[in-house]
């Protein structure tokens, strides 16, 4: 239960729902308990009147007795109906309070977890897979809700029904009460054991279902790869094997579940038989009436579900505790990226300085940057080049504080980056990462994601990044749904739309991390030309592998194995022997080879 203590803040928030729910549960059960008593009175009345009827002489006396019996039975029936309506009325409101409370808490928990997810750093997302994140915010929260709602509701119902029913039964006959309730604890124990087994089997089934969903998701996402390698049959066999395991585990659950209702019916029947037998003996000796037997049989059936629910409630609480433990693990995670108490919040000018910056990824232990220092003045256009894995993208991630430096410091407009407000940094910097991500939305909404731009502004920006004509060729143009992760668009189209999305917010600094790799050289030159004109007073950092397009940059930083090995302009770097010259010569050779292939 210690894992569930965190829920107390939600219970306190919705305490009036809970308190009213308790009142409604007791009122509902109170009117339910009165029904067997009315039935007992009706049965005793009928038995008594039948004796009188049989003893009466023929004629008017018997007709009068029959009329009295009919009228009285009608009144008894109306009383039972009235009590049932009152019971149902308060039962409706007990669900409208306690179950609604659980739904409100579920909403709050999901919202809180979602906000917490967004505040966590990239390192957290590299440690945990997306499926696990989704499972916790959906399945685990739902299981906790079951403990807050149905478990609490039926727990209160159990207490109230037991107290009211047993009090009423003891008032009639303590002896018959003891005999009638004797099988119920056995029923509760069996139900608990069966529920525990069902819970264990359900966990195994959930795990297998996750595997099944994962295989299906990967197959659908990678359908191009599956088809291109003609692996449809192989994937079908894998999916069939996993489905067979899922079926087998479900059959194990069905076999155990089949014990549930027969066990319940057996022990309820036993309680009824004991009640009738012992009650019949007591009627013979005159200690109770025939109506009391009917009353007790109804009480036993009323208590059946609350007793049965004890095992179910225990199972719900166990599952909720396990789920809450998983939720607490993530909720207790703290982002490595923290703001100071009074962070600096001002418009960004664009002066960037790296001072002896080193960075090591905590998860892998790989040192991505080693004592990197450089200075970018406001309005300069900088390029960063180097081989794959040399640390180029890490520089971009550090600049927008996706990570903190391991050592050294980064200054923005003369102030340490850690002293800035995170929102100010990320609002002022347009960062387009290597891995382009588009939402399952229209093209227009993907571009205006970070702004409230008009349709005309969206089209103007699309034209400036050379993607307007491509969009106009789509079936519904700017209102075309791009599909999951932009699957319906080409790589170059996705890259240019992501650049438009970043630039439409009018940033102070632009960082493009190799996000022009899928466009041709001519289109790249158009976009770079636009950046020079449109962002003439802004700072721009372009991470790219195309050296022949870097002629007009103010500075070029050359990275190699995490170190800054060269810095200068295009012309000055070509005059130096080193990595830049080697990369340039290799690319020129590749270009000549490609041109020759095209001519042939």
pLDDT of residue 85: 92
pLDDT of residue 595: 60
Q: Is the dihedral of CA 154, 160, 166, 169 positive or negative?
A: negative
Instruction: Write down all domains in the chain, each with its CATH number in brackets.
Output: 2-331 (1.20.1560.10), 352-565 (3.40.50.300)
Query: Residue 59 half-sphere exposure, CB side, CA atoms within 13 Å?
Result: 2
CB burial of residue 374 (10 Å; 0-12, 13-18, 19+): middle
Distance CA 332, CA 218 (A): 30
pTM of the shown model: 0.72
Distance CA 52, CA 183 (A): 38
For residue 531, what are the contacts with CB-CB under 8 A and spacing of at least 6? 381, 510, 540, 542
**In the predicted model, what is the mean pLDDT of residues 527-549?**
75
Between these two residues, 333 and 99, which has the higher pLDDT value?
Answer: 99
What pLDDT digit, counting tens, does each position of 251-301 carry?
877 777 777 767 777 777 787 888 888 888 888 888 888 888 888 888 888
Distance CA 18, CA 97 (A): 7
Q: Could you give the angle at the alpha carbon of 482 between the alpha carbons of 479 and 488, nearest 5°?
A: 130
420 with 139: CB under 8 angstroms?
no
Distance CA 345, CA 251 (A): 61
548 with 559: CB under 8 angstroms?
no
Distance CA 422, CA 429 (A): 11
Distance CA 570, CA 592 (A): 20
**In the predicted model, what is the mean pLDDT of residues 80-98?**
88
pLDDT > 90: percent of the chain: 1
Q: Is the dihedral of CA 305, 307, 312, 313 positive or negative?
A: positive
Query: Residue 528 half-sphere exposure, CB side, CA atoms within 13 Å?
Result: 25
- Band of the pLDDT at 347, cuts 50, 70, 90? confident
pLDDT of 522 over the 80 cut? no
**In the predicted model, what is the mean pLDDT of residues 349-357?**
87
Distance CA 252, CA 172 (A): 46
What pLDDT digit, counting tens, does each position of 31-84 carry?
988 888 888 888 877 877 777 767 666 666 667 777 777 887 888 888 889 888
Distance CA 296, CA 218 (A): 59
410 with 399: CB under 8 angstroms?
yes
**In the predicted model, what is the mean pLDDT of residues 229-245?**
83
Nearest to 396 by CA among 339, 449, 435: 435
What pLDDT digit, counting tens, does each position of 139-176 carry?
788 888 888 888 888 888 888 888 888 888 888 888 88
pLDDT of 569 over the 60 cut? yes
């Amino acid at each position: 239960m210690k894992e569930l203590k965190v829920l107390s803040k939600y219970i306190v928030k919705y305490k009036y729902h809970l308190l009213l729910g308790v009142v409604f549960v007791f009122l509902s059960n109170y009117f339910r308990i009165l029904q067997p008593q009315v039935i007992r009175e009706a049965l005793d009345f009928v038995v008594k009147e039948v004796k009188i009827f049989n003893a009466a002489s023929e004629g008017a006396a018997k007709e009068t007795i029959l009329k009295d019996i009919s009228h009285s039975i009608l009144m008894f029936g109306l009383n039972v109906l009235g009590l049932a309506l009152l019971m149902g009325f308060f039962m409706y409101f007990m669900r409208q309070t306690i179950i609604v409370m659980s739904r409100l808490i579920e909403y709050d928990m999901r919202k809180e977890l979602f906000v917490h997810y967004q505040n966590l750093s990239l390192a957290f997302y590299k440690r945990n897979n997306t499926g696990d994140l989704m499972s916790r915010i959906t399945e685990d929260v739902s299981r906790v809700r079951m403990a807050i709602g149905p478990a609490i509701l039926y727990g209160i119902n159990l207490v109230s029904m037991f107290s009211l029913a047993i009090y009423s039964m003891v008032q009639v006959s303590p002896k018959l009460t003891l005999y009638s309730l004797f099988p119920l604890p056995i029923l509760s124990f069996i139900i608990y054991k069966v529920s525990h087994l069902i819970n264990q089997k359900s966990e195994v089934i959930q795990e297998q279902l996750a595997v099944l969903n994962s295989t299906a998701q990967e197959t659908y996402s990678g359908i191009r790869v599956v088809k291109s390698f003609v692996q449809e049959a192989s994937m079908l066999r894998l999916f069939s094997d996993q489905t067979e395991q899922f079926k087998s585990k479900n059959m194990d659950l069905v076999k155990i579940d089949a014990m549930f209702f027969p066990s319940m019916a057996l022990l309820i029947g036993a309680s009824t038989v004991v009640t009738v037998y012992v009650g019949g003996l007591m009627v013979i000796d005159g200690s109770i009436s025939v109506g009391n037997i009917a009353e007790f049989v109804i009480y036993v059936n009323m208590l059946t579900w609350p007793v049965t629910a004890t095992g179910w409630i225990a199972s719900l609480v166990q599952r909720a505790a396990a789920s809450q433990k998983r939720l607490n693990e993530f909720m207790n995670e703290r982002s490595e990226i923290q703001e100071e108490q009074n962070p600096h919040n001002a418009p960004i000018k664009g002066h960037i300085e790296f001072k002896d910056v080193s960075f090591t990824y905590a998860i892998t232990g790989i040192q991505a940057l080693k004592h990197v220092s450089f200075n970018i003045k406001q309005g300069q256009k900088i390029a960063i080049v180097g081989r794959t894995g040399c640390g180029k993208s890490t520089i971009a991630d550090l600049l927008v504080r996706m990570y903190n430096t391991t050592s050294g410091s980064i200054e923005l407009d003369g102030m340490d980056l850690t002293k800035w407000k995170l929102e100010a940094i990320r609002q002022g910097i347009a960062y387009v990462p290597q891995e382009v991500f588009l939402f399952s939305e229209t093209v227009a909404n993907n571009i205006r994601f970070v702004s409230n731009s008009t349709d005309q502004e969206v089209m103007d920006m699309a034209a400036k990044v050379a993607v307007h004509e491509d969009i106009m060729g789509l079936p519904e143009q700017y209102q075309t749904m791009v599909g999951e992760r932009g699957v319906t668009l080409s790589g170059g189209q996705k890259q240019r739309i992501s650049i438009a999305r970043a630039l439409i917010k009018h940033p102070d600094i632009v960082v493009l991390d190799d996000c022009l790799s899928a466009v041709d050289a001519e289109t790249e030159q158009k976009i770079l030309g636009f950046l020079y004109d449109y962002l003439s007073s802004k700072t721009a950092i372009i991470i790219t592998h195309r050296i022949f397009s870097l002629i007009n940059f103010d500075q070029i930083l050359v990275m190699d194995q995490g170190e800054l090995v060269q810095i200068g302009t295009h012309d000055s770097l070509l005059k130096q022997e080193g990595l830049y010259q080697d990369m340039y010569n290799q690319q020129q050779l590749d270009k000549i080879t490609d041109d020759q292939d095209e001519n042939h």
